[in-house]
Amino acid sequence: MCGITGFIEWNRDLTAELDLVLSMTSCLEKRGPDAQGTWISGPCAFGHRRLSVMDPENGAQPMVIQEEDAVYSIVYNGEIYNAPELKDELRRRGRTFRTNCDTEVLLQSYIEWGPDCVYRLNGIFAFAVWDSVRQHVCFARDRLGVKPLFYSELEGTLIFASEPKSILKHPRMEAVVGPEGLAEIFVIGPARTPGHGVYRNMKELRPGQVMIYNRSGLRTYAYWKLEAEPHTDSVEATAGEIRSLLQDTMERQLISDVPVCTLLSGGLDSSALTALAVDYYRRTGQGQVHTYSVDYVDNDKYFQAHSYQPGADTPWIKRMVEELGTEHHWISFDTPELVGALPDSTLARDLPGMADVDASLLLFCREIKKGATVAISGEAADEVFGGYPWFHREELLGSGTFPWSIATGLRAGLLSPEIRDWIAPERYVADRYAEALEEVPRLDGETPEQARMRTMSYLNITRFMPTLLDRKDRMSMAAGLEVRVPYCDHRLVQYVWNIPWEMKTTGGREKGILRKALEGVLPDDVLYRKKSPYPKTHHPAYLEAVRGQMLEILDNPASPILPLIDADRIREIAASPESSSHLPWFGQLMSGPQLFAYLAQVNHWLTTYKVAIR
């Protein structure tokens, strides 16, 4: 994985702008700690930070190929998992290769097929290609949006980067946030509306899209999206296809020239991937798989089960480590570490995020990086297979809004009257929800219940899953760690999305069809364990720390968040039992303590980025 950046100005020779390109590139150093490169030619300037995973000796970027008078240059972040097959096909078509890295395969694919090369790619990627023949820059992002790509078009200049911080280095870009951006922060956040960059004049290329920038302007189109199709396979055939796709995906994603590990929580999703990795390593003679888990000091003492978090993970991790014989690494953090990492996690996102859920993942990735460069994660299985509580609880299914964020009124009530009037939070959320519903592909002949569950699946894949993928990318890359997410293989996602809900819940269980697909891969007690999400701290000291931090912010008249919020309402929550209860603030993991931590992150972001509100 890497960090990419650059800008294009058709009416200027950018050769003299090396210092600016270096500045934009250097701020992505954590994404790519191993090397830095730049390339400038006429109106185009590219920068790249590299994390070496494949062919460390020869895969430097920007990579340039010149064929007679034609020049092609690429900056790329990601992994192409079908690179070996593409390389074979390109060789048959007469192309020669000088490296063993997938960057060259991707660039040669572009030279051979142009922008249509994206249809042939299996992987996670964001890239930009300068094409001197077509006189354009072609950008593309992977189908599910695992790798990020932000851009700004300002006064004849197109600026792009893996992260907003790099774009903000360009002198034409200001850290300004208007009413839409504030609505994204305060009532959509830590999620984001697809394509929305929060900062004024900043956008994010949506998953599954290509963007072409030439002298005539900017053109964007979708090369992939979910399609509604009849599912005709039997339960047995469906389970077999899922297992086959998962195994193929895992074997592709375990290929690396650097150490690979898996993240193991003891749940269905991570245990399945770890079991498949162990089997592959045994068959290929690659030795023992290393696994990692995260927990918190005294969590066993303070854990209280509830509908979103029904059980602790530790006993199940031990169960799987013994079953699979992995080399396991137990990682745990204490409250001061979590609180201390909140500012760093905000800087990693360039925005306020998922509070301690972000902070703990950042700390976790830093520890993993000491022993591995690539990690396999079970992220996205719940969105794809329907594991979350809001797939199964009527009051959430019928909430009439995004079911992971049902407290719009509560969140709007945290804002100052002036900001509420300016951003109209309830209407903003309602409009974004209506837009999402309009996108859902429909299938003739479905029952109302089947159509409703198809809609819920679509919302999760296109609205909730990007939040967690964004978190995973930013926190891992801030530690120089590549995280791969096999459940985001587009073949698997498309196939499972069309499985009727009654088949997805085979056996009367959430993710029932996945459990059936994994029979024989996992022990039955793990296979049918009740879902538990990513672990968070339950220590009362965390609540006290973040509540105290927020009260200090409220007491400081220079805090930039004060004009935006209703300080009296926040003090009222801080003094009430609401602050320690399971406040339905966002998702499964963000409740009372995370509300204070999130607002503290907002204040830190406003201060550090010198954000102007207008």
Q: Which residues are catalytic?
A: 2
Tokens for 316, please give them.
Answer: 């199940």
The residues, any chain, with a CB within 8 Å of residue 466's CB and separated by 6 or more, are 145, 191, 192, 194, 207
153: amino acid identity, one letter:
E
Tokens for 188, please give them.
Answer: 């959509």
Tokens for 224, please give them.
Answer: 């992939």
Helices (H), 261-387: 268-284, 299-302, 314-324, 335-340, 342-349, 356-369, 381-385
First CA to last CA distance, the chain: 36
How would you write 365-406 as a 3-class SS string?
HHHHHCCCCEEECCCCHHHHHCCCHHHCCHHHHCCCCCCCCC
Q: What is the CA radius of gyration of the chain?
A: 24
CA atoms within 13 A on the CB side of 405: 26
Please give the Cα distance from 467 to 477 (Å, whole number).
15
Please name which of 185, 201, 302, 222 lies closest in space to residue 193, comparing C-alpha atoms. Answer: 185
SS3 category, 4: strand
Burial of 71 (0-12, 13-18, 19+ CB in 10 A): middle
